[in-house]
Structure 1
Amino acid sequence: MKVKLLGPFEMTSATGTRIVLPGFKLRSLLALLCLHAGRVVSADQLVRSLWDQAPRTAQTAVQVYVSKLRKLLGAAGVEGSVLITRSPGYLLDARHLTTDRDEFESLVAIAASAEAEGSPERASELLGNALTLWEGPALGDLRSLPAVERVARQIDERRIVVCERRLGLEFGLGRLSTVISEIYGLIESYPLWENLYYYLMISLYQTGRTADSLRAYQQLREALVDALGMEPSAQLQRLHRSVLARDKWLDAGHGESGTQRLVSMTM
């Protein structure tokens, strides 16, 4: 069966049949087991994860949920042995499971090899394919549970790292229009992500949009001050001064290229 973690939680059988999981607790239980696939999750851990203040009947409720899951999975053609009772809790057999998270990480690993072999175009293409697997924040419909939120946040961080790597490759390839377009889209979701503005400011400057570059800095500064009461990083402040002074290093192809300097300062 295939599980979608990079967005709202979904599950499909090997034949492509969507497995409908009624109820928040039932879906959350299965998501927690998927996140720990191949490992035993104790009944006590599941209780703590599913309830802020567990009722006295919580252990029994978990047993009932597991029974319902087995019936739903069986009705969808999933082997009954996929969800195993093993002291002190339950185990979801990873051999019967594939996730879009696994596919994402596989593409990222292949991209890293392509980059190491001197193929930045191929690496960027692979990272782009990996990023298209995302349909929103990881497990976005289940994040009201702190146990899910903690893991989902870690998965989201991987997306951010990969986004930055791809932007760096696109910048290095001189595809500044792509960089600018993608960053404006990302800023809607991540208004305080400073490295985005670094790429954006240089890309705008190198395409002759100096005023827009300065406006991007001001937009970030206002957002940071309003949200956190702090100024942009020293790195961004230096870049701002360089744009104001039209420093030569910002010009593409001048000495140490803007690309090299950008990558060295954002890695």
Structure 2
Amino acid sequence: MNTSIVKPGMSPSPVDPAGAVRYEILGPLRISGASEGPLIRAHKIQVMLAVLLIRSGQIVPIEYLTEEIWGESAPRRATAAVHVYISQLRKSLSQHGAPDDAIVTRPPGYLLNVGDAGLDVYEFEQRVRQGRDHAWAGAHTEAVESYEAALALWRGPALSGLRDSPVINAFAAWLDECRLEAAEMMIESSLALGRHRAITSFLYSLINQHALHEAFYRQLMLALYRSDRQADALRVYQSARTILKEELGLEPCRALRDLHRQILSGADLSNVVPTSGAA
């Protein structure tokens, strides 16, 4: 799976406002800046800002913003309303210390400049990339540190409270998957370091939140088995099998079934090669 966080249309803008304003979408939408401006409370303006951030560095047509804000229920004067919202957003960003050209009018719409370090997603992508590079080089201690720094940027589900917009919902769901993948790779590097007991509680927590994510079951089974908890590892498999059958009508994936057979046979799994992109 590709873990790059910056997709086409999301590359950092060449304009850097000297770090004056930072936009955070790895959780509820939040703005921090050199100046403490008022919170943006109007839902429609939050949606508009989120869409502009998702398409940062690109011109976003007014009709695109209209569709994301109102869907099929746009008022007759929706275009005029968008202009008003943009004006209000510019004022709010200015109060946070953003430059005058943070939002640029470019027919047929608007463009938001966030700067190379102005969006938490960019830092997340950088930390994940560093973690992958360290893991590939066998530097798993450094890899874990990079992944942990990436995951620490999250404050909750991406753009929570704004997922009634189709584009925001799809993009935020994709970011949430990237978060899970970063956690998976961090755990693989932790397993490579022999930190089996240290990560079991974290894995139980992840499984409780993401019961259909089979990779976490595999990692927990391996961590328990390497901690001389064979019976617990087998119970984890049975739990995974029950949940997958009840929720999806499916048997566990091949990797999980193979690991189950190896644990049953008492195989030496001290040098099992990670299956994720972490190493």
TM-score (norm 2): 0.86
Residue aligning to 2:167: 147
Taking CA–CA contacts closer than 8 Å with sequence separation of 6 or more, which of the two structures ends up with the larger relative contact order? 2
Matched, 1:52 2:60: no
Gaps of 5+ in 2: 1-20
> After the TM superposition, which residues 21-170 of structure 1 pair with which residues of structure 2 at under 5 Å, given as runs?
21-53=40-72, 54-95=74-115, 98-170=118-190
- How does the TM-score come out when normalised to structure 1? 0.89
Whole-angstrom CA distance in 1 between matches of 2:248 and 2:37: 43
Shift of 1:7: 0.7
Rate the CA distance shift 1:233–1:28 in 2: closer, same or farther, 3 A.
same
List structure 1 runs of 4+ shifted beyond 4 angstroms: none
Tell me which amino acid in the other structure corresponds to 2:177: E
Q: Residue 196 of structure 1 aligns with which residue?
A: 216
| 1:229–1:42 Cα change, 3 Å | same
1:222 maps to: 242
CA distance in 1, matches of 2:188, 2:209: 19
Q: 1 CA distance for matches of 2:200 and 2:137?
A: 27
Provide the C-alpha distance between the structure 1 equivalents of 2:229 and 2:187, rounded to a whole number of angstroms.
19
Matched, 1:245 2:265: yes
Q: Confirm or deny that 1:174 pairs with 2:194.
A: yes
Partner of 2:257, secondary structure, is: helix
Is the contact made by 1:83 and 1:93 (CA closer than 8 Å) also made in structure 2? yes
Shift of the alpha carbon at 1:10? Answer: 0.4
CA drift at 1:97: 6.3
Displacement after TM superposition at 1:137 (Å): 1.4
Moved more, 112-121 or 166-175: 112-121
Q: Which moved more, 1:158-167 or 1:103-112?
A: 103-112
SS in 1 for 2:97: coil
> Secondary structure of the equivalent of 1:168?
helix
Deviation at 1:19, TM superposition (A): 4.2
Q: How far did residue 167 of structure 1 move?
A: 0.8
Whether the aligned pair in 1 keeps the contact of 2:34 and 2:96 (CA below 8 Å) is no
Q: For 1:144 and 1:109, locate their aligned partners in 2 and report how far apart those are by CA, in whole Å.
A: 31
Kindly tell me: are residues 115 and 210 of structure 1, through their superposed partners in 2, closer, same or farther at Cα, counting changes over 3 Å?
A: closer
Letter in 1 for 2:247: A
Summarize the Cα distance change of 1:155–1:100 in structure 2 as closer, same or farther, 3 Å threshold: same
Give, as a single letter, the amino acid of the residue that structure 2 aligns with 1:219: S
Bigger helix fraction: 1
Shift of residue 128, structure 1, vs aligned partner? 0.9
- Once residues 6 and 18 of structure 1 are traced to their aligned partners in structure 2, the CA distance between those partners, rounded to angstroms, is 20
In the alignment, the residues of structure 1 paired with residue 70 and residue 181 of structure 2 have an alpha-carbon distance, to the nearest angstrom, of: 32
Deviation of the 1:212 alpha carbon: 1.3
